[in-house]
Amino acid sequence: MTSPTWQHRPPYQGPTETSPARKSFTKKLRGACHCGRVVYWLSSDNPLNVKYCHCHDCQVIHGAPLQLAAIFEKADMAFERGVEGLHFYKTDSKAAEHDLPCKVSCGTCGSFILDEGRNMVLVSPSLLTLDTERLRENFDVRQHIFYSRRVKDILDGKQKWAGLDNKSELLHDD
């Protein structure tokens, strides 16, 4: 039986595998799920963006008022182990399938690993080894999305979008 094609494309390739989307990979930042069965690396320690998402799907799936997400290019992520045990969930259809965009978690402990979009991945910073002040600062939140659906006000002076950033109303701290 052959493995699904998604396993041979970023972000699911191993750190030593190459593809047209990724010519090489340098391990910079390690991430792992709670049970340790899923281990991955990021080749960048500076996300493109870091957001709090207040959408209803994130609130329900994570059992929390918001999700913290760091955005990276797919080619910036590589799995060292655990790809075969990943579970996929498509929120639109409420189906356990790898159909983009989808949420990805460890099939053993249930740790949320990432949201996979068509071009980017949203990684959970709480699974990363952020062991220096500089690394922690790189993951400071820059904005809120779907703030109109917030559970609680967060008066932090960060940009707050009613829906998606740059595609909805910009809200203000009151």
Per-residue pLDDT tens for 111-135? Answer: 999 999 999 999 999 999 999 999 9
Q: Which residues contact 5 (CB under 8 A, 6 or more apart)?
A: none
Whether the predicted pLDDT of 2 surpasses 80? no
pLDDT band for position 18 (cuts 50, 70, 90): confident
Residue 158 lies in a domain: yes
DSSP label of 161: E
Residue 96 lies in a domain: yes
Distance CA 10, CA 73 (A): 9
Distance between first and last Cα of the chain: 58
What is the model's pLDDT at position 17?
Answer: 87
Max Cα-Cα span within the chain: 58
Whether the predicted pLDDT of 155 surpasses 70? yes
Residue 59 lies in a domain: yes
Question: What does the pLDDT average to over 80-96?
Answer: 96
What is the model's pLDDT at position 112?
Answer: 96
What is the model's pLDDT at position 41?
Answer: 98
Residue 150 CA neighbour count, 13 Å, CB half? 14
Residue 151 lies in a domain: yes
The model carries a pTM of: 0.92
| CATH number, residue 71 | 3.90.1590.10
Residue 24 lies in a domain: no
Whether the predicted pLDDT of 89 surpasses 90? yes
Give CA separation, 118 vs 45, 50, 91, 122, in Å.
21, 18, 15, 11
What is the model's pLDDT at position 3?
Answer: 60
pLDDT band for position 1 (cuts 50, 70, 90): very low
Phi-psi region of 71 (alpha: psi -120 to 50; beta: other; left: phi over 0): beta
Which residues span the domain enclosing 93?
A: 5-14+45-171
Total domain count, the chain: 1
Residue 30 lies in a domain: no
Residue 20 lies in a domain: no
Distance CA 46, CA 3 (A): 32
Span 29-63, pLDDT tens digits: 999 999 999 999 999 999 999 999 999 999 999 99
Residue 148 lies in a domain: yes
Q: Are strands 77-81 and 67-73 parallel, antiparallel or unpaired?
A: unpaired
Averaged pLDDT of the chain: 94
